Structures are given as structure tokens and as C-alpha cells.
Structure 1
Amino acid sequence: MKRKNLITLAILSSATLGAPAIAQEANTESQADVEEVLQVVGSRLSFRTATDGAAPVDIISGEDLAATGITETGKALQYAVPSFNFPSSSITDGTDAVRPASLRGLAPDHTLVLINGKRRHSSALVHLNGTTGRGSSNVDLNAIPIAAIKRIEVLRDGAAALYGSDAIAGVINIVLKDNAEGGSANLQLGQTHKGDGEQWKLTGSQGFTVGEEGSFTLSGELHHKNRTNRAGDDPRQQYPLLPNGELDPREETFNRQSFHVGDGEYENAALFANFETAVGDSGTLYAFGGFSDRTSESGAFYRRALQSNTLTEIYPDGFLPILAPDVKDYSGYLGYEWMLGEWTFDVSAGYGLSEFQYNVNNSLNASLGPELTPTSFEAGTLENTETNVTIDAQRFIPFANNSDLSLAMGVSYRENNYQVSAGQEESYINGGYQDRPGGSQGFTGFTPESEVDRSRDNIGVYVEAENQLTTEFLWGAAIRHEDYSDFGTNTSWKLSGRYDLTDRIAVRGTANTGFRAPSVQQLYFTNISTLFVDRGDGPVPEQSGTFNNISPVTNALGIGNLQPEESDSLSLGLVWNGYEGLAITVDAFQIEIQDRIILSGDVTPEDSPAVADALANTTAENARFFVNAVDTTTKGVDIVVTQQFDLGGYGDLKGQLAYGYNDTEIDAINLPPLLDGLDDVLFDQEEQTRMTESVPKNSGSLGLTHELGKWSSNIQFSYFGTYDIYYSSGTETYGPDWITDVTVNYQWNDNLKISVGAQNLFSDYPDMRSEGNQFNGIFKYPLTNSPIGFNGGYFFTELQYTF
């Protein structure tokens, strides 16, 4: 079996034996049959759940993703898989540019992302400000253009015993296009119902033949969108009083929609390639990789003319600092697969880099005075690199009952490096001018004391087996041992099974242990910057310090070294393959995680003498840090129902109903002894709510695709249940929300297709914040966690040319 078929079955075999080895059906079915199992028809509404494995797998084709008209990979996946969450956020610093994504209600870093079956590196950004997944880093899915994607496979089951760290909630495998000829070009134009957020997106993909059977596929994207703004007017006084005590007359003419609440302006360029060719009689050389370069512009808090952090000589009316990060992402893999006797060997090496450069525009350092301060700053750079080397081997061995045992084993080496580079001096110093605050407004630059350049490595070995013992019974087992240079070793295992009760009904289940190693971002990120902290009277600026575990501050507080999170997972499912294309899967799961890593709340010198002593030699007014502190249990169920209808002269109709439920409960909170009694500060109600209630517990979708002649149309109703956000005045509940998406397509000729569509057809918005939590009416909608965003409807037209 050629390498592309091994990758095709990587996730499916994970579902059956939980492994990167070949699934048993590869030994008994023809390639045509295998491809039929994976066939996806229509757009996002098609048969996308593998029903013949021991764990649930969603399969979404690239055509499905593109047909929605959604321009971001992460958002398109959210509407395709109910258990996947990709919330919107605004005024959250770097998180505005790289949004958190999560599976089954767990943290963003509990999901492993693969490309062509190989591990993908995570973003250098650490989510710090009030969003789902605070304190975590995740893979930047939007760095991978939809135009390059052949298929996405989502394994909703633990798989750390197969792939190593991070696969507690599941695995997302992105399979790149591999066509040897032909291609397509696509242009989309659209805007929101408010007339803002105008965007255009130009994509293209082309396949080339290499040799007799090889292929080289090149896919690219250019994407631009303007900002949206849903901020309320700022009613507050903007200017200092006149000498006679009266209001400045400019109060009458000031543009009071001074804040920016919405999507930022966005530019993205991406290019991905996928290559493979035969070498000799039984070898295959392959390579893939790509880059993306994204810039965005989003607002911070508006600085009023009467505030001390403003210089009216430069900005007479005040100013809105603009965060304009430059996010670069590079990756590449090279591998060779060959047969040696009965064994198939696969050797590969890959490298990935994520660079997040903080830039601040339309700003100043008030402490330098009007003559010396710049108005734009390079505030520092975060960089995460990952190197992977793997050797895998697989074969079939005669086994009991005249069956074959699929045996796989392998070894992997991974090195991670994390760097924090200081910004330009003007972005962080205090120049002493008129006792004004120092640092660039909007985002204070990283200081030389925050600079980090640290690495860690690990070696993993695994063995896995799968066997179709009888026609009815399939079983699988896997075990993996990892040795990390910083915290030691971990061993995890997985058992899976499936029994076909009849030709149409089967039960399936898995049991596994897993782990997630503390990321290098959590181990080494450190910074002291100005953050707006709500102490009960609205957001106020404070010098807030995030201290890593090698810092004297955390050592003085007895935080201790970070240890891996460990999990125990169970799943049990029922599969029914009914008549005339009807398929139903129901899968229940439970995931217990011990020692979850959190980013603590802010502790101040007033909270404890130990904190006062630890911060005495720093410029920080408060401290926060990463710590193993929480045990949780997550329970849930996923249901998928698909059906095809032959309407005769009225065409073909395909339908899908999907539903996901998850509920996370906190079992225990364990904090360092030196900080005993500060539970309500270190892991307060806000953070507890964020961990357990910030993601909708219920989500679902009902979709229909109709085809008739040259016309096709898609309609999907998406449901997002309630979720909670904690404010200083208490918890507020938002939702539920219903979103309707519609697309109509006309195939003009063999090459040209024209589409028009609407996302959020009825321009629904999240519930408004209560009046007391609207920050003077400026923040009408929740700034974080909303699964439907706060833009309202988006309407587009699209041209696609296939050749």
C-alpha cells in the first residue's frame, strides 16, 4: 500500500486500534473500497463520520469546507463539527490575531493537530487575557489555507498512547491535496450586513505530474478583510476642564465611537506544497510544508485626552492604540517509505516555526514626553520552533482464527525551543517625564529581563496491535513510553474494541490513559506589562507580571516545577447503519484529568507577605504564574445522523443532524503551601467559570444539501447552547443562539461555478451584556467566548474556475 493510503488511514486506524499503523480493513478491502469509506459528497452536510471503527471519526472534505463560504479554517471546522469550539474575541491583545480552538470542552492544548499524519507545531502566542483557554497555546489552524486541504479527519477520542503529548481530547488530522493534475482558482467578495468587514479572498491550487506516478500540488491564498466595529458610544468626559471649570466645547463634536470592538483588519498570504514520487520498486519519497504571513490590526482601550497616559501635544483628542502583530508560520517535512521483506518502514523529519512579533501603532510612551516618544513600536517577539524525527515500521502477522495481526512500532525524537526577545527600548522604559506611565500604550514591550531562549527534548517509543479476530469482533491495543529532558518519563496505553451485533448494529468502546507535557510556552514565557484589571470599579491599568517557573519570584513562592497533566478516558458507542444511506452513531465519553496546568489569578503584596517579599525586587504590582493546580472530570455525548434521499425528478437530497454535549466539573484544587488561603485569588470564581462554563455545553447542527441539474443549494441551522462569563458583579449567562447559513450554487459550465451565500442569514447577535457590565455602554456584547461572534450577517458572492 502506498504512503498516501497509509496517511489516509492514519486516523481511521487510530479509531480502531488507536494507532498510526494501517487499519485491518486495508488487508481485506480493495483500494476502491477504502476510498469509498472516505468518500465525502456535498458540502459540509455529507457522510463524514467513519462508522466502522472503535471510536468516532468525523471526515470533512476540503470541498465541504470551501462550499460554506467561510474564509477561516478554524471557523469552518467549528460549523462542521459540533464538539469543536472556535470562539470570537476582541480587545484581548494577541488572541485577537490567533484565536483559541478546543475540542470536547477541554483546553486548546488538549487537542493534537497533525498534517498528513505528522505532528504540527503550536503557536508561539500564550493566551493571557480573559479568553477560553487562558494560559494555553494552540495550533494556529488559520495558518493552513482551506485551498490546500483535501480532507480533515477529527478523531474524538484520546490518543496520547499513539502520538504522544496533547492528544487528550482528540486528534485533528489535516490531509493536504495530492492531485497530479488539474486545479482550481477561486475569488470571493463579501461584507457584513452593516456594510463593514469588506473582504476579498483569492485562492488557487494546481497539481503537477512527477514521473510516472508522482505528484506535486501547490496551493495558495491571498486574503484581505477590513475591520468590523460594534462598540457603543463612549459617554464619558474626554477633555480636561477649561480653566473656568466648564466643559471643553470639543465634547460636543468628539466621535464617541472611539473604541474598536470587532474583528481586526487582516492581511494573509499563504502557500502550501505537497509532493510524493516513487523511488525504485517499493519506495516512496515525500515532502510537504508551507508558510503563512499574517498581519492584523485591532484596538486596545481608548486613551482619553484627560488621562495621564496621553500627550495632547501629539494626540489632542486622545488616541486608540492599535495592536498590529506580524504572525509568521513556516513548516516542512521530508520522508521516505519503503518495503523490506514483510515490513513497511517510514522515516521522516520535520521542522516548524511560529513567530509572533508584537507591533503597536498609533501609540506613544508618555513618560518620554512629546519630543522623544515614537508613535509606533516594535514591542518584542515570541518564537516557538519544533523539530520532529520519526521512524515507524508496520507489518501483518498470521494470528489466531486465521486472522492477521497488524503490528506497528516506532520511535520518535522531538525538540522544542522557545524564545522571548525584548522590544525596542522605548516600548518598555520609563523616561520620567512629568511622572507619566512608561512603556508603549496598548501593549508594553518585553524587557531584556523577560528574554528567554530555552529548549527541551524528548524521545518516545510505541508498540501497537490490531486484529479482526472474527467477522464480528475487532480489538486493538497500544502502549507508548516518553522520556522528557525536563520532567522525566510517562507511559500511556490504550485498548479499543468493536463488536458487530448484526450486519447493521455495532457497539464500540475505548479505554486509555493520556498525558500532556507542559508546553515550552508555559515553562518559559515571562513578561511584565500594563494590563487593565477589574478590581470592582471598572478596568484600571496595573503593572502585571507573568513569571515562569525558573523565575526567582516563583521559586520564592514555592511554586515548583511544572509536571505533566495525566488523564484517564473511557468511551462507549453505538453504531447503526440503516437502510437507504441512513447512519446513526452515538458515543458517550468521560475524561478525568489530574494536575491541569492553569495560569493563576493575580496575587498582590497585600494578599500575602510572601508575595510582597517575592515582588520586592521587580517592577510588577502583581504576579501570576503557571501551576499544576486542578483536577477535572469531563463527560459528554456525541450524536451524528446522516441520510440520503433520492427525490427522483426533483434531484438528490442529503441530510445530517449532529449534536454534541460536554460538561466539565472541578474535582479538586491543589495550590502551593506558601500561598495557602489564597484559593479565591489564585483560582477564583472567574477562572473556575472559564474552565467549566465558558464553552456551550450543548451544540448541534441540522444541514441539508440539494442537487438538481446545474443547481445545488445548502442550508444549515447551527445551535450553540448557553455559556457563562464571570464579571466582578457576578456571572452572566449568554445564549442559546441559532445561526442559519445558506449557499446557492450554479454550475455555469464544466469549468465555472457561481455561488452566492449568507452566513448568519438573519444577522443574529449574542445577548447583550447587562447594563452594569457594559463599561459605560461601550461593550454592548461579550468581548470573549461568543461562538457566533458579534458581526451579524455576512453576505458573499464567489466565482470558482476548475481546470
Structure 2
Amino acid sequence: MKYAKLSYLIAGALAVPSALMTHSTFAQEASVEAEETIQVVGSRLSVRTATDGSAPVDIISGEDLAASGITETARALQYAVPSFNFPTSSITDGSDAVRPASLRGLSPDHTLVLINGKRRHSSALVHLNGTTGRGSSNVDLNAIPISSIKRIEVLRDGAAALYGSDAIAGVINIVLKDQSEGGSITANAGQTYIGDGDQYKVHGNTGFALGDDGSLMLAFEYHHKNKTNRAGPDPRQQYELINGEEDPREETFNRLSHHVGDASFENKAIFFNANMAAGNEGELYAFGGYSDRTSQSGAFYRRALDNRNLTEVYPDGYLPLLTPETSDFSVVGGYKFLLADWNVDASVGMGTSEFQYRLENSLNASFGPSTPTEFDAGTLELNEVNASVDVQRFFPFVNNSDLSVAFGLSYRENTYKISAGEPASYENGGYDGRPGGSQGFTGFKPESEVDESRDNVGLYVELENMLTTQFQWGAAVRYEDYSDFGNNTSWKISGRYDVTDQFAIRATANTGFRAPSVQQIYFTNISTLFVNRNGELVPEQSGTFNNISPVAQALQLGALQPEESQSLSFGLVWSGDDGLSVTVDAFQIDIDDRIILSSSLIPSDSPAVAAALAAAGADNARFFINAVDTSSRGVDVVATQEFDVGSSLLKTQLAYGYNKTEVDGVNLPTILDGLEDKLFDNVEQTRMTRSVPRHSGSLSFTSIVEDFETRLGFNYFGDYMLENNAGLQTEFSGKWVVDFSVKYKMDDNLSFNVGVQNLLDEYPDKQDPSNQFNGIFMYPNTNAPFGFNGGYYYGEVTYSF
């Protein structure tokens, strides 16, 4: 029996919430059921139909992802799964290059990402500056080219008992293409209505036969995108007065000096997926890939009169440009074989994420006119090694049923490194009392350098059984032992009962955990951030300190501990004879001791804080702490149906997701001078509970008439709220975004697709005038759910062979 280590069996194709795309996956799955067993995340039982399972899964085909015309993998997934959030951010340092993504309104690091059922490494970057998921790290989904993806399976249920840490909100499993022949190549180009953000992308894949039954798939991507800019004009005085009079250059200065919009980037990626027969019913397999992205985004503009500028270098001021280079590499190899009646899967894999901070069009004002204008500001690097052995077989069980017994052993090692930047990026040269360090992002100092690792061992057992033709159940337990904080045990039970051939109920209960990431344990840096002080954005040397730093030890913060969760879900499944499919799944997720990046402490808070900050050379300090208990509740609804309209086919889908997170308790560590309440202020509470839309949904239609395929999608992004450091809360209303495309298939090889995203040119609500920084930040620049670029049109051509 062909075996794949995957996870929860689920109402597969029935639960596909494609926002831009219709439920073509459902038709595809149904057409191949008779000849292909499809196993999806969450179970080792064979999927007999697309809607069997005890927990909800969305299955999005690679064809649907590509047909959307969306060029980024994470953005395409956001439009396909309403409970998946991928907001746009700008002027948020490294987060402009690797943006946070989350599931069910929880933190980005509460979702586990797999490729072909194997754990994917996260990004080395830590989100620091005001975005959703501040203080977290997530997998960079955009490092995986759409052209390599066969399908994406999104399990909307806890799965720590199967996979270990991180699988609290759910699991995203990316299944790579595996064809042994043929392929395709696509060229795509487009731009916004305004005329910026122009991009072009060339991507494709091909397959080769390996031996009698094996295959090798190769996929590539080259993607170039120019920036968008929705900044307002800067009305401020730019130049020093001349004899008390305004400098004449004020009249000719280009007031559109800031860059508030998407970063420009160039992305290159190549992936492979290979397998071949070996031994008696055995299979060798390997997959992996490499991606490299160079992006460019702006910081705050430094005016000519600013003491962070040198008029000898930039007479009119300058916009520091962050141009980080991010690279991801991964490779996994394994062997599946039969040992007696046991299916064995032994594998080992490694992954590396590197984030190198670079700056252009900058300077170090403290070096005087001889300052460099380009800097290497340091590098973050995460390395991960995973090794596992998974074993499964069936035993005869009661009522003439089979009991699936699976168990496995895993080992993981994580290493985190911070390398200091070049001295000019952080030193103070003493010139004219000017601030030191590269402007836009201060380089990592030698004191920030770390090279630390931790490892853990996991052991799990899982039982599954189809007790009758109507009832199936499952149970799993997992034990993990970590080298840095100890051990954890998690469990899961699940069940499904088919009341009739058309109607079923399903439910799960589980516990989970998330170990503090090595990024959260070891990251430390001092950089220049703009902080709202009495309504003005003021530059400060803001320190992010790990819990082993002298500052944290002086304040007696203590060590990080794992987050722990308890989850319940209950669902209804309807599969009508007329092709109508409906799933409704409600959930509750309680998380204790959530890790946050705290609010900032400043010298005026207490003498102890002032002394600790003075010793560290920072104006304020923030820390990673276990601080908050939360509860998240919600419901997901998906309905699909196909209609035969004469000689044409109409596919329809309605998808809706609701989630609400509340703070149940704040359990801040006891620190010096009773400053606990300052570590989790209203800004952070609002960000945790309201910065993600509670309501999201989609209604989509696909019509296929002969050689034409027309797609129309209505996508809803609900209201959300942000709060600034001055205490201003702003609620942004929900918006509908309409997408439309037409595809013409000229012949079996050549097809053309033209489309419009955000057809009606919808923008988020504008910010409150008092939060626009002199009218420059018209739109929310940290958490805009569908961005603030307006309408976008594109065209593409695909050649299949």
C-alpha cells in the first residue's frame, strides 16, 4: 500500500473556499476518485471520497492558484481561503520583504507549514514594527513558486499531537507537482490602474521519467515587480531658513518624498520533486528548492534640515532605502518501504533562511561628509534539521473493521545566528554631535551577535478506525522533550458520524503547544524607530532585548516558556445528490501564556529602567514575554454547487469565515518597580484582538463555455481596528473587492488569460487626520488586508506541452 505521512482526514474538496476561483478542485477530485487515493493532512486512513473526514480541510489546486492571476503564493492563498490573512505593510523594515501571514486570526507562528507532509523551516526575520503578529516569525510562502504546486491543503484544526510545535491554528501542507512528463511555461505582466506596480513574471515546470515508475519535476520562477506608492505630499518645511526667510527651494521641492506602498523586488526560485522505485514496494524520494529575493522599500524621509542629514551629501534630503536580500534553501530525502506489514517512512531534511540587511541612499551622519552611503547592516540566519521515522499498518479490529496504528520518532535541531553589520552601520563617529549608525536601519552591533542552537525529540502514537460504515474515530498523543525548557505532552481525539448518506456531523478536541522560537529566545538589536510622543513621530533608539540580555536580567524578566492550547471544533457536512455541498465548522481555541513582544519601557518609568537602558545605549526597551491568555472563537462556512446550463458548465462557491479573539487574562512577569502593567498596553491588546478582520468571505462564479472560461469573484474583507501610541483607536470598515478574468484556450497547448483584480478600484478607509503624519500616511500602512494599491489589470499566456 502506498503510504504518505500526512495529517487530518477531512472534508477535502467540499471545503475549498476559493475566493477568486471557483470550486474546480471539487470536480477534479471527484473525477479521479475511482483511480487515485488522495490522502490529505490529518489522517492515515485512505480517503474514499472527497468529503470523508472528521475535521475541515480546504484543498486548493495549483491550477486554481495559477488561474487567479495573482503572482504571489501567499496572496493567492489569502484569496482562496477566507480564514487566511496576509496583510500589506509598508515602512516596517524587514517586514516589507517578508510579510506576516496567519490563520484563524491567531499569530503567524501558530500555523505549521509542511511541504509534501514534511515540516518547512520558518524565516529568520522577526516582525518588529507594528504589523499583525508583531514579535513572531513565519514561513515565507512566497519563496515557493506557484508553478511547483500541485495543490495546497489547509487543515483548519489543531494538530500538535501529530506534528508537534506550532500547529495550534492549523496546518498548511503544500503538495508539489510530480508529473513524469509534460509541463508548462507562463508569462504574466500587469500594472495598477495608476500605472505603477508594474511587474512581469515567467514561471513554469516540466517532468521527466526516472526508471519505470519514478519521476522528476523541475519548476522555476523569475518575478520582477516595481514599487507602488500611495504616500501623500509632505507639507513640512524642508530647508533651513535663510536670514529668517523661506528657502526658495521650498517651492520646487518634490513633496512626494516618501514611499508608502508595496516594495519593489526581484525573486528567483527553483524547486524539484523526485521519486523512484527501490526494492520490494519501496520508494526513494527527494524534494527541495532554492529562492533568492532582493527587495527595496523606503524608510522615513530625512529632510534637508534634519540633523540626521548632511547637506554636503544630500542637499535636498534623502529617502533611506532598505534593500535586504532574503534566501531560502531546503532539501529533504527519504525512503518509504514495507517492513513485514508495516509501512515505514524514514526521512531527513534541512532548511536555511538567511535575511541580510542592506541599505542604499543612506548615510551615517556622525561620520561627517566622508560617510558611506551604502551599508551592510548585518545578517539573520536560521538553520533547521529534521529527521523522522514514521511507521503505520492496519490491524483487524471489532465489527470486521481495520484499526490503523501509527507511531513515529522525530528529531529537530534549530540554530539561530545574528552577524554584526559593518562598523559604519552602527558606530558613532562623533561628528558635530550627529546621531550614529546607518539611517533607515541601524546595523547589528557585535553585542547583538549570537550563534545558539536547541534540539528536541518527539514521539507520537496515533490510532484511527472506521468502526462502521457510518462512524469513524481517531486518537493521538505526542510527547516532546526540548533541550532548553523541558517537555510537553499533547493529545487529540476526533470523530465523525454519517447520519444519512448525505448528512454527517464531526467533532474534534485537542491540546497543543508552541515552543518559543529560537528567534524569540535569542534575537536582540537596537534600531531607530519612530514613536508617537504627544502626537509627533519622534526617532528613538529602540532596543529589542532577548531574555538572556543584561537588560532583561536586570529587570528580572525570567526565561520564556511554551504556549499551551486547548481546542474544540464541531462541524456539519451536507453532500447532496444534486451536487450541492455545504460544510459548517465552529471552533474555539484557548491559548495560555501567549508570547508577545512587549510594549516599550522608557527611562522615566523608573530609575532601574533608566539605568538598564543607559547601560545598553537605548532610549526604550521591549522584550519577548509569556504574558497573555486568549480565547478565539469562530465559524467557517463553505457551500459549492455546479450547474449544467445548456452546453456550458457553471461552478459556484460561497465561503465565509468569522473569528474573534479576546484577552482572558494578562499574566505579566513580576519585574522591578512594579512596571508589569506597562508591558502590555492598549496598543498591543488592540493589535492582538482587532487588527485582523473578524469577518471575511467570498462568492465566486466560473463559467466554461467551449474554449472560454470566465471567472468572477466577490471577496469581502471585514472591519478591523488599529491603535497608535497616542491612544487613538481607528476602525476601518469592511470592503468588497471584485475580480474578473477571461481565459481563452486556443488549442491543447496554447491559452491566453486577461483579468482585473480589484475591478472597482477599492481602497481602505483613510486614516484619521491626526494619525496621517502630516497627511503622508493616508492609508493604514501596517495591516491593510487587501493592500492599498487600487485596481490592477494583467495578461498572461501559457504554453503547455
Question: TM class by shorter-chain length?
Answer: over 0.9
Q: Does the CA-based 8 Å contact 2:442-2:527 persist in structure 1? A: yes
- Counterparts of 1:670 and 1:10 in 2: how far apart (Å)? 34
Q: What secondary structure is seen at the aligned counterpart in 2 of 1:33?
A: coil
- Counterparts of 1:272 and 1:390 in 2: how far apart (Å)? 22
Aligned pairs for 1:154-553 within 5 A: 154-242=154-242, 244-371=243-370, 373-553=371-551
Q: Does the CA-based 8 Å contact 2:88-2:99 persist in structure 1? A: yes
Q: Which residue of 1 aligns with 2:126?
A: 126
> In angstroms, what is the RMSD of aligned CA positions?
1.6
Q: Which residue of 2 aligns with 1:23?
A: none
Aligned pairs for 1:50-69 within 5 A: 51-69=51-69
Q: Which residue of 1 aligns with 2:21?
A: none
Q: Does the CA-based 8 Å contact 2:668-2:677 persist in structure 1? A: no
Letter aligned with residue 433 of structure 2: D
- Counterparts of 2:789 and 2:334 in 1: how far apart (Å)? 44
- Counterparts of 1:779 and 1:33 in 2: how far apart (Å)? 56
Q: Which residue of 1 aligns with 2:630?
A: 632
Deviation at 1:533, TM superposition (A): 1.1
Deviation by residue 1:72-112 (Cα, 9 ceiling, x = unmatched): 00000000000000000000000000000000000000000
Distance change >3 Å, CA 80–CA 38, structure 1 → 2: farther
Deviation by residue 1:653-683 (Cα, 9 ceiling, x = unmatched): 0111000000000011111222565355211
Equivalent of 1:683 in 674, 680, 691: 680
Deviation by residue 1:162-218 (Cα, 9 ceiling, x = unmatched): 000000000000000000000000000100000111100000100000111000000
TM superposition score normalised by structure 2: 0.95
Q: Does the CA-based 8 Å contact 2:670-2:676 persist in structure 1? A: no
Q: Indicate the larger mover: 677-686 or 662-671.
A: 677-686
Q: Does the CA-based 8 Å contact 1:2-1:284 persist in structure 2? A: no
Q: What secondary structure is seen at the aligned counterpart in 2 of 1:125?
A: coil
1:96 aligns with 2:93: no
Give the ranges of 4+ consecutive aligned residues of structure 1 lying more than 3 Å apart after TM superposition: 13-16, 29-39, 675-680
Q: What secondary structure is seen at the aligned counterpart in 2 of 1:438?
A: coil
- Counterparts of 2:760 and 2:233 in 1: how far apart (Å)? 25
- Counterparts of 2:713 and 2:519 in 1: how far apart (Å)? 38
Deviation at 1:613, TM superposition (A): 3.0
- Counterparts of 2:524 and 2:676 in 1: how far apart (Å)? 22
Q: Does the CA-based 8 Å contact 2:294-2:326 persist in structure 1? A: yes
Deviation at 1:616, TM superposition (A): 3.5
- Counterparts of 1:167 and 1:468 in 2: how far apart (Å)? 25
Deviation at 1:51, TM superposition (A): 2.6
Deviation by residue 1:40-96 (Cα, 9 ceiling, x = unmatched): xxxxxxxxx953110000000000000000000000000000000000000000000
Q: Indicate the larger mover: 285-294 or 616-625.
A: 616-625
Deviation by residue 1:128-163 (Cα, 9 ceiling, x = unmatched): 000000000000000001000000000000000000
Q: Which residue of 2 aligns with 1:142?
A: 142
- Counterparts of 1:402 and 1:583 in 2: how far apart (Å)? 30
Distance change >3 Å, CA 317–CA 757, structure 1 → 2: same
- Counterparts of 2:529 and 2:11 in 1: how far apart (Å)? 43
Q: What secondary structure is seen at the aligned counterpart in 2 of 1:66?
A: helix
Letter aligned with residue 552 of structure 1: P
Letter aligned with residue 347 of structure 1: A
Distance change >3 Å, CA 38–CA 459, structure 1 → 2: closer
Q: What secondary structure is seen at the aligned counterpart in 1 of 2:604?
A: coil
Distance change >3 Å, CA 342–CA 304, structure 1 → 2: same
Q: Does the CA-based 8 Å contact 1:275-1:286 persist in structure 2? A: yes
- Counterparts of 1:502 and 1:479 in 2: how far apart (Å)? 31
Deviation at 1:281, TM superposition (A): 2.4
Q: Does the CA-based 8 Å contact 2:12-2:58 persist in structure 1? A: no
Q: Which residue of 1 aligns with 2:571?
A: 573
Equivalent of 1:642 in 637, 640, 643: 640
Q: Which residue of 2 aligns with 1:42?
A: none
Q: Which residue of 2 aligns with 1:44?
A: none
Q: What secondary structure is seen at the aligned counterpart in 1 of 2:221?
A: strand
Letter aligned with residue 201 of structure 2: K
Deviation at 1:539, TM superposition (A): 1.2
- Counterparts of 1:59 and 1:686 in 2: how far apart (Å)? 36
Letter aligned with residue 54 of structure 2: A
Letter aligned with residue 34 of structure 2: D
- Counterparts of 1:457 and 1:239 in 2: how far apart (Å)? 55
- Counterparts of 1:51 and 1:318 in 2: how far apart (Å)? 61
Q: Does the CA-based 8 Å contact 1:15-1:155 persist in structure 2? A: no
- Counterparts of 2:664 and 2:292 in 1: how far apart (Å)? 42
Q: Indicate the larger mover: 633-642 or 614-623.
A: 614-623
Distance change >3 Å, CA 443–CA 654, structure 1 → 2: same
Q: Does the CA-based 8 Å contact 2:358-2:376 persist in structure 1? A: yes
Aligned pairs for 1:596-607 within 5 A: 596-607=594-605
Equivalent of 2:560 in 552, 558, 562: 562
What is the aligned residue count? 776
Q: Does the CA-based 8 Å contact 2:606-2:673 persist in structure 1? A: no
Q: Does the CA-based 8 Å contact 1:536-1:729 persist in structure 2? A: no
Q: What secondary structure is seen at the aligned counterpart in 2 of 1:606?
A: helix
Deviation at 1:556, TM superposition (A): 1.4
Q: Does the CA-based 8 Å contact 1:50-1:57 persist in structure 2? A: no
Q: What secondary structure is seen at the aligned counterpart in 2 of 1:296?
A: strand
Identity over aligned residues, as a percent? 67
- Counterparts of 1:781 and 1:714 in 2: how far apart (Å)? 29
Deviation by residue 1:681-717 (Cα, 9 ceiling, x = unmatched): 2111110000000000000000111101000011110
- Counterparts of 1:793 and 1:676 in 2: how far apart (Å)? 52
- Counterparts of 1:433 and 1:582 in 2: how far apart (Å)? 73
1:725 aligns with 2:722: yes
Deviation by residue 1:450-492 (Cα, 9 ceiling, x = unmatched): 0000000000000000000011110000000000000000000
Equivalent of 1:708 in 696, 705, 709: 705
Unmatched tracts of structure 1, length 5 or more: 17-28, 40-48
- Counterparts of 1:31 and 1:714 in 2: how far apart (Å)? 24
Q: Which residue of 1 aligns with 2:692?
A: 695
Letter aligned with residue 496 of structure 2: R
- Counterparts of 1:605 and 1:30 in 2: how far apart (Å)? 66
Equivalent of 1:610 in 608, 611, 623: 608
Q: Does the CA-based 8 Å contact 2:360-2:373 persist in structure 1? A: yes
Letter aligned with residue 783 of structure 1: N
Aligned pairs for 1:754-773 within 5 A: 754-773=752-771
